[in-house]
């Protein structure tokens, strides 16, 4: 039940709206607190000022642009437009404290020789920070974040195995021109016994204890006419950087998953089947996608990742 008679207020009594529900439920009629009211007016004033200065209201296909402007560089030309966050970002990337410092460091590193960069703590900490980003953008899709690679597919750049050489000059050449690693398959020229023998020899060079006769026969294949492996990998199997042929005696495996094999039999069969198939892998060149300085920074970074040569 609700009645609308406003009861007359007695001194000391709180004012109510006069509505009474269920015979005894009433509603106070207090004024809004001052602070709240002024706060409310302030937000109204703020909103009006904001609408005047900044992009705010949609009108049809467009919107009110606001009186505030922003100036930034676009392709070397100064552009002034109504204030908007996209231009603000463009300006921050050109003139922000961080961006300016980054460009200064890039220019500085660009003017340095590799020996100077590698010996300069400041330059190297910049290289590490900057290259992490560009490595993520350009390289990590294949070599993985951090550069550990994928066995059998993309080389690990963190270890001491450099197929194409680990000096800064060689790494830079890899990045600029790209690389094409090729080893022919031996499916025609070696039968399965010979494949096992040459595989046994390769494994024996890495201190796996295998059948001595097979190892001896494998050594002949490796260094003889039949296999001719020495032509690319070298007589002592130390590898040949000009061909991208890896050292086969340091127990670092980039293509054959030898460490993942359960026993000698599986190790032999994995190496043998790799030699049977051969391989071809391409590392793309970046000359047309990265500036000289960016390549320099990435080269110094990759060199330091793998404890270069």
For binding to ligand HEC (CB under 6 A), which residues are involved?
A: 138-139, 141-143, 154-155, 157, 161-164, 171, 174-175, 179, 181-184, 186, 198, 202, 222, 227-229, 231-233, 243-246, 248, 253-256, 271, 274-275, 279, 281-284, 286, 298, 302
Q: How far is the CB of 183 from ligand HEC (least distance, A)?
A: 3
Q: How far is the CB of 192 from ligand HEC (least distance, A)?
A: 13
Q: How far is the CB of 67 from ligand HEC (least distance, A)?
A: 46
CB nearer to ligand HEC: give 124 or 279: 279
Rounded Cα distance, 94 and 87, in Å: 11
CB nearer to ligand HEC: give 126 or 186: 186
Q: How far is the CB of 176 from ligand HEC (least distance, A)?
A: 10
CB nearer to ligand HEC: give 87 or 200: 200
Cα dihedral sign, 214-194-154-296: positive
Extract the runs of DSSP E, i.e. beta strands, from 176-271: 179-183
CB nearer to ligand HEC: give 37 or 141: 141
Rounded Cα distance, 114 and 47, in Å: 56
Rounded Cα distance, 25 and 2, in Å: 9
Contact 275, 195 (CB under 8 A): yes
Beta-bridge partners for 2: 21
CB nearer to ligand HEC: give 181 or 204: 181
Q: How far is the CB of 107 from ligand HEC (least distance, A)?
A: 21
Q: How far is CA 69 from CA 42, 53, 88, 226, in A?
A: 24, 9, 10, 77
Give me 192's structure tokens.
């399965």
């Amino acid at each position: 039940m609700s009645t609308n008679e406003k009861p007359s207020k007695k001194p000391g009594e709180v004012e109510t709206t006069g509505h009474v529900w269920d015979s005894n439920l009433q509603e106070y009629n207090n004024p809004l607190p001052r602070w709240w009211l002024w706060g409310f007016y302030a937000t109204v004033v703020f909103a009006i000022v904001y609408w005047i200065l900044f992009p705010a209201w949609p009108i049809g296909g467009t919107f009110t642009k606001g009186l505030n402007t922003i100036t930034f560089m676009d392709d070397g030309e100064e552009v002034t437009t109504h204030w908007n966050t996209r231009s603000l970002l463009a300006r921050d990337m050109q003139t922000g404290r961080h961006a300016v410092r980054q460009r200064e460091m890039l220019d500085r590193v660009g003017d340095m020789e590799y020996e100077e960069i590698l010996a300069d703590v400041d330059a190297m900490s910049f290289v590490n920070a900057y290259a992490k980003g560009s490595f993520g953008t350009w390289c990590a899709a294949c070599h993985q974040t951090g550069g550990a690679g994928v066995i059998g597919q993309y080389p690990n750049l963190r270890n001491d195995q450099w197929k194409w050489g680990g000096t800064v000059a060689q790494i830079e050449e890899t990045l600029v021109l790209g690389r094409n690693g090729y080893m022919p398959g031996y499916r025609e020229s070696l039968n399965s016994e010979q494949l096992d023998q040459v595989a046994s020899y390769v494994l024996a060079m890495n201190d796996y204890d295998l059948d001595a006769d097979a190892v001896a026969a494998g050594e002949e294949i490796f260094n003889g006419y039949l296999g001719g492996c020495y032509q690319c990998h070298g007589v002592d199997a130390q590898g040949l950087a000009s061909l991208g042929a890896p050292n086969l005696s340091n127990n670092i495996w980039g293509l054959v998953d030898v460490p993942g094999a359960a026993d000698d039999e599986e190790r032999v069969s994995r190496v043998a089947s790799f030699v049977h198939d051969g391989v071809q892998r391409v590392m793309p060149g970046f000359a047309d996608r990265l500036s000289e300085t960016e390549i320099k920074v990435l080269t110094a970074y990759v060199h330091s990742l793998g404890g270069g040569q």
